[in-house]
Chains A and B, each alone.
Chain A
């Protein structure tokens, strides 16, 4: 009896493993039932809305968003992850994807973004102006250098260091205040929102109405700001190239651009306000 039960258990284990293998091996959706979009973390809300609209107009199609730092998405693509579309928060990682032969067709710029500085609403470090970010002991959180927002932030700090009213050492001092280098912009937002960090640099589009209650925003003058550029491209090996192209067209359409604008991004295509 015991033996038989043991045998059954062993068989079930093997069977279960085999099933797990069969189901887990190809990371591909059923043909044209799902559109997998790898999108920069800062696109979470805007692409979420566009994806829902897209599903409504394409019965039976599901849009799966994989949201992370652009550098992480690109690394996943390099490792063979399946995606139909890649939307990056900067040109660097899109270029890298193209150099690696991961793309099908040319990337299209669909949005732009600006950076802002944020501090918790409680303002524990008593920051009154941007210059205070360089004060000793202020806990600053930035994106890591590899993350688009991290590279943009460092560019902004360099720009501010030569801006009127700022110390030439401003950028170096702020970098010396960094207590954590986050892997995507939403992690920077989280650390500031929770009040654990004294200050951070994020995209303007990250300051959603929901977040606005938790943080205070310090604008970075346009002259020192950067214009983040968001390209989107179809991924080589996509099983739904038509749906992917339609999704890109939707993002670039006046309707799509309005959604992006509503979520704080700057449209890349001229639209009526």
Chain B
């Protein structure tokens, strides 16, 4: 590696490089981890247990679980066909569609919430049609789910699409020569092979939905038991009840940590077996 480089300077750089990388990594890890440590250091077991039993905390926890599960289900249902289409077909306007589907990732959530109001609010573009159908979104639990779907969908689509794109064509061709129909090829070959990516997308999507704040409070409002999910409850509690804020934050932290850690550990287990079955 170093033979093509001029001798002295580069050799000292090469020696310094690992140290620099370790330093950078350590600094970044410190910046990212210290807030979590701070949060955990602030919580006392007694206060945590007392708060976790409080009906308000339960209510927020339940609402968060229900809405983020529902949002994730919606995203999977609509996202699997969408990601497959994007991964396997070319069509006019595809680039534009791709950018639109990515936009929520970089959009300030408050802007997203405002845009949702302009579209699905009572006076929004689709608001009149929706209310004719008897559907109300702002200030409702359904509105929370919509805000979460909007913000979390890209986190599913990106890995899902990469997963579908990574399925080797020759495997599909082989399946075709064995007279597998198109649906058979999709369910027996493509889906199992893409499942690690789909699972990764699902976990990211669920974690993002669980943490959704800005779009929710702007679009769906803030009412305990109806639209006040855990992140909103943390925000409110920060101004009145620090013990509650800490408890809710730690709960959220543990749930998100569990989701992402599970994602790292799972592929070694049952997904790996499936992959072998698909080979």
Contact = CB atoms under 8 A, between A and B. Distances in A.
B240 interface: yes
B24 A196 contact: no
Contacts of B254: none
- For chain A, the bracket of interface size reads 20 to 34
Given A14-B24, A139-B139, A146-B240, A7 B17 contact: yes
Contacts, number: 82
Contacts of A119: none
A144 B138 contact: no
A213 to B, nearest CB: 15
Given A7-B16, A14-B20, A180-B222, A146 B123 contact: no
Interface in A111-140: 122, 124, 139
Nearest to A180: B221
Given A14-B23, A146-B236, A194-B121, A179 B17 contact: no
Contact of A10 (B14, B24, B122, B223): B24
A61 B162 CA distance: 54
A194 B13 contact: no
B1 interface: yes
A4 to B, nearest CB: 6
Contact of A196 (B21, B117, B239, B240): B117
B222 A17 contact: no
B27 interface: yes
Contacts of B14: 3
A71 B122 contact: no
A195 interface: yes
B121 A17 contact: no
A179 B139 contact: yes
Contacts of A195: 121-123
Contacts of A71: 239-240
B10 interface: yes
A124 B239 contact: no
B223 A181 contact: yes
- Residue among B2, B224, B235, B238 with the most chain A CB within 10 A? B238
Interface string A167-185: 0000000000011111100
Given A6-B17, A14-B20, A14-B27, A194 B123 contact: yes
A145 B13 CA distance: 60
B122 A124 contact: yes
24 contacts: A1-B5, A3-B1, A3-B2, A3-B5, A4-B5, A6-B17, A7-B13, A7-B16, A10-B21, A13-B24, A14-B24, A71-B240, A72-B239, A122-B123, A124-B122, A146-B236, A146-B239, A178-B223, A183-B235, A183-B236, A191-B221, A194-B121, A195-B121, A196-B121
Q: Which 5 A-B pairs have the closest CB atoms?
A: A180-B221, A179-B139, A195-B123, A71-B239, A75-B239
Given A179-B226, A196-B121, 15 more contacts: A3-B10, A7-B13, A7-B20, A10-B21, A10-B24, A13-B24, A17-B27, A75-B239, A122-B123, A179-B223, A180-B227, A183-B217, A183-B222, A195-B122, A196-B122
